[in-house]
């Protein structure tokens, strides 16, 4: 019979080969008795990718060229007009700006705090399990629930954060004041993502052999320099992986948090591009415009990912 174990774990696509600029490793050749059999094995995976990615993407791209009648009575071809409308709109550009800032802040803080906690937890010997469980358990909370908790924490009347800010003379008005809301969104999004980064950084730290750390202890007196030059660089593969995951998280997965926190609030609230795609399409019934925005977003993410792989991955040491 055929041996599936000979199939490479991750197929190297043409795209990967292209941006790497060198030929892919030759995959091991396997002879199948029936030529259709491998396709049969691949079917479920291909079906999932097709149904949940290619088909909707194709739909979005095609819709983005039409002006759809909100009541379902046909569509008019408008060319690039939807794109022009989106990119030309001041509101769209403001949201794009906020999205960039939001993504930057969420990524930097959740990576930074995750790393900080991991380094601290790594040093603890007594009560290690309890401490870790406490940090990790936040990850089990579903995003809408996290949003709900955030809403309570920042509630105008009962929110402890509002009270806390009040002590410092900050009249915090989440849901009303633009920047106060932005602050709350970033905080809840970071809080939700830190445990994920913590888990990966911690296991990365524990993958560094004790003797290498001890050698560094002898070679370098300054703790901060030692961490930067000997430990952090060994964590680079983990950090690179998390960077991509965190940017994706900030761009897309914070949707539920934003939705819960700004849904029923007055209009002038910070939202990200994904949320705008949703609200234009499903609330405003502007299917064409919404589709054009989602295509723009797709292209941005594609470029971002390619840049990361091309420029960053090379500098990362994979031990």
Partner 1 sequence: MASIQITNLSKTYPGASGPSVADINLSIRDGEFIVLVGPSGCGKSTLLRMVAGLEDITGGEIHIGDRLVNRVDPADRDIAMVFQNYALYPHMTVRENMAYGLKNRKTPAAEIEARVAEAARMLELRPYLDRKPRALSGGQRQRVAMGRAVVRQPAAFLFDEPLSNLDAKLRVSMRGEIRRLQKRLGTTSLYVTHDQLEAMTLADRLVVLNGGRIEQIGAPLDIYHRPASTFVASFIGAPAMNLLDAEIAGGTLRLGTVEIARIATAAQGPVSLGIRAEDLSIATQGLPFRLDFIEELGAQRLVHGHVEGQPLTLSLSPDIAISDQMHLAIRPGALHLFDTNTGKRLSLPESERQQIHAPA
Residues at the interface with partner 1 (CB under 8 A): 209, 211-212, 214-222, 225-226, 229-230, 233-234, 236, 317, 319
Q: Choose between 32 and 240: whose C-beta lies nearer to partner 1.
A: 240
Q: How far is the CB of 263 from partner 1 (least distance, A)?
A: 47
Could you tell me which residues come within 8 angstroms of residue 132 by beta carbon, excluding any fewer than 6 positions away? 121, 202
Q: Choose between 45 and 222: whose C-beta lies nearer to partner 1.
A: 222
Q: Choose between 226 and 263: whose C-beta lies nearer to partner 1.
A: 226
Q: How far is the CB of 220 from partner 1 (least distance, A)?
A: 4
Tell me which residue of 291, 183, 194, 201 sits closest to 249, measured CA to CA.
194
Q: How far is the CB of 317 from partner 1 (least distance, A)?
A: 4
Q: How far is the CB of 122 from partner 1 (least distance, A)?
A: 17
Q: Choose between 167 and 318: whose C-beta lies nearer to partner 1.
A: 318
Q: Choose between 36 and 218: whose C-beta lies nearer to partner 1.
A: 218
Q: How far is the CB of 294 from partner 1 (least distance, A)?
A: 40
């Amino acid at each position: 019979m055929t041996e599936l174990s000979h199939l490479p774990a991750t197929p190297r696509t043409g795209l990967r080969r292209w941006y790497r600029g060198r030929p892919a490793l030759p995959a091991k050749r396997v002879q199948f008795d029936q030529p259709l059999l491998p396709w049969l094995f691949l079917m479920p995976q291909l079906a999932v990718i097709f149904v949940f990615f290619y088909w909707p993407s194709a739909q979005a791209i095609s819709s983005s060229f039409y002006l759809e009648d909100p009541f379902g009575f046909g569509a008019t071809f408008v060319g690039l007009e939807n794109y022009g409308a989106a990119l030309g709109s001041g509101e769209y550009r403001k949201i794009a700006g906020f999205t960039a800032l939001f993504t930057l802040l969420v990524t930097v803080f959740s990576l930074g705090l995750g790393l900080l906690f991991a380094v601290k937890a790594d040093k603890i010997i007594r009560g290690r399990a309890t401490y870790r469980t406490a940090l990790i358990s936040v990850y089990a909370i579903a995003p809408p629930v996290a949003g709900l908790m955030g809403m309570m924490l920042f509630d105008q009347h009962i929110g402890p954060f509002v009270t806390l800010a009040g002590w410092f003379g900050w009249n915090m008005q989440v849901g009303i004041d633009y920047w106060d809301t932005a602050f709350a969104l970033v905080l809840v999004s970071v809080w939700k993502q830190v445990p994920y980064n913590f888990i990966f950084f911690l296991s990365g730290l524990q993958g560094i052999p004790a003797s290498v750390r001890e050698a560094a202890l002898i070679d370098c007196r300054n703790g901060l320099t030692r961490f930067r030059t000997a430990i952090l660089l060994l964590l680079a593969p983990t950090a690179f992986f998390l960077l991509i995951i965190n940017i994706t998280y900030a761009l897309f997965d914070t949707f539920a948090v934003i939705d819960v926190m700004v849904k029923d609030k007055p209009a002038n609230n910070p939202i990200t591009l994904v949320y705008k795609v949703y609200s234009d399409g499903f609330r405003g019934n502007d299917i064409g415009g919404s589709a054009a925005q989602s295509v723009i977003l797709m292209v941005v993410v594609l470029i971002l990912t390619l840049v990361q792989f091309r420029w960053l991955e090379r500098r990362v040491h994979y031990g």
